[in-house]
Structure 1
């Protein structure tokens, strides 16, 4: 228990110290996606792991925006490849590939439809958006959601890493 608490303090302390120096960009953030993120997301509420756990217990919808792992480009022709299972927070809906700086119309529709379903059509309803710690994917998706008029967005910047640091378990996401 003490080890887990220490790991969480180090994770949050390092993330908070770096995030204070990272300004919010005017637009979306591209490569590198795994890099320090801002401490804020205009129009959204930033939540801690403890707040995420409490919202999860209340039944607030969680949206995971990590991308799918794609087939490696250099595999020889005819090689069978299966993507490794994607691990996420229990009950989360996986809206893969919706956190890039530029997304296709299909990916934007996936995000729009996922938000509408999660909110039940109420754009003020709380919705948690996450990926991993120090990952811009959830920041980008949260910014898009705010731009679509959603006012109940809760951005969980520590994502699955913060979830696990406070003792949360992960489950295999439904395959897209």
Structure 2
């Protein structure tokens, strides 16, 4: 009986470690195992990321930003948490959510256009943290926007720091 149950579970469950690529954008929880693929994009590891970095590809960090909360009592001192990123990366914060506000969608579109100098064939590397769906979502959007050389780096900042260097640098958020 146990063997029959195990076989049924194996047939309907994905292989351990394999996450199917969804048809649409992924929401909560964003920190979770990610797929091994992204249609229309190249999935890369740390070594490929470093080669692309050395070749001058555009690096896009989509890690979310903690902004000053509305309604803080007068006189409250707000210090935005520091975020470190890969040197030369553009921090297009909050552009990896499942659903984007119009301002977030515009930030992504404008940021990608600026970074590629309106050349859809310029290589892009899109990342966040390891096992973060925000980078997958943003890379999927870049593909949908017509970029031809989208590289999704699912190991992101964590993989870069653990395997390569150069050291991370303080990120400055793209405006607005």
- TM-score bin (small chain): 0.7 to 0.9
Q: 2:170 aligns with which of 156, 166, 172?
A: 172
Number of the residue aligned with 1:97: 94
Aligned residues: CA RMSD? 1.6
Number of the residue aligned with 1:5: none
Number of the residue aligned with 1:44: 41
Task: Tell me the SS of whatever aligns to 1:70.
Answer: coil
The aligned runs of 1:2-81 (5 Å cut-off) are 18=17, 21-71=18-68, 77-78=73-74, 79-81=76-78
Gap regions ≥5 residues in structure 1: 1-16
Q: 2:104 aligns with which of 104, 107, 110?
A: 107
Q: Give how far 1:70 is off.
A: 3.4
Task: Tell me the SS of whatever aligns to 2:159.
Answer: helix
Alpha-carbon separation, structure 2, partners of 1:166 and 1:44: 23
> Bigger radius of gyration, 1 or 2?
2
Deviating beyond 2 angstroms after TM superposition, the runs of 4 or more aligned structure 1 residues are 70-73, 75-79
Q: 1:144 aligns with which of 131, 141, 145?
A: 141
Q: Give how far 1:71 is off.
A: 4.2
Number of the residue aligned with 1:154: 151
CA deviations over 1:123-159 (Å, ceiling 9, x no partner): 1221100001000000000001111111110000000
Q: Give how far 1:120 is off.
A: 1.5
How many pairs are equivalent?
A: 157
Alpha-carbon separation, structure 2, partners of 1:113 and 1:35: 28
What TM-score results when the alignment is normalised by the length of structure 1?
Answer: 0.84
Alpha-carbon separation, structure 1, partners of 2:170 and 2:134: 19
Q: Give how far 1:117 is off.
A: 1.2
